[in-house]
Structure 1
Amino acid sequence: MKELLEFLVTSLVEHPEQVDISSTEEGDTVTFQVKVHADDVGRVIGRQGRVAKAIRNVVSAAAYRQKKRVFVDIQS
């Protein structure tokens, strides 16, 4: 799942070398913290959060197959 999230985010940003994804896992819940360059935050979130919601939906679908629950937190 982390590789999928990294692929999606790095494809969207102008500074892919500054994408940092960390994760914490508690039981069947995984939380990803996505840090991007300040100029790229708008690209990852999108208008009214549409891009962020789409990223969360794709990662959640992948997590569902592994019977996990996923949260994606986007930070600058």
Structure 2
Amino acid sequence: MLAQAVEHLIKNIVDFPDDVSVRSHENARGELLRVRVNPEDIGRVIGRNGRTANAVRTVAQAISDHKIRVDIMDVRR
């Protein structure tokens, strides 16, 4: 559910919503969400001084009941 919520949030920010994917991974440090977006949208998702990315991380942490990390990367990786 958390990955779907973050995906919905990101898709409403970007110009290429079909290129957005969110994958969830569990590790010893908690849950990791890997958000992949089109390279042209990476600046839009990160935002000025990282404000948009920090807002996405804050929302994800607020709706989660455990430790979570959100990594944002482009689809070329």
What TM-score, normalized by structure 1, do the two folds share? 0.90
Matched length: 73
Stretches of structure 2 that go unaligned for 5 or more consecutive residues are: none
Higher helix share: 1
Q: CA RMSD in A?
A: 1.2
1:31-75 Cα deviation digits (max 9, x unpaired): 001110000000100000000000000000111xx2x11100000
Separation in structure 2 between the aligned mates of residue 4 and residue 31 of structure 1, nearest angstrom = 14
Q: Give the equivalent residue in structure 2 for 1:6.
A: 7
Deviation at 1:26, TM superposition (A): 2.9
1:71 to 66, 69, 72: 69
Separation in structure 1 between the aligned mates of residue 14 and residue 4 of structure 2, nearest angstrom = 16
SS state at 1:12 partner: coil
Q: Which runs of 4+ in 1 moved over 2 A?
A: none
Counterparts of 1:1-76 in structure 2, within 5 Å, are 1-26=2-27, 29-63=30-64, 66=65, 68-76=66-74
Deviation at 1:4, TM superposition (A): 1.0
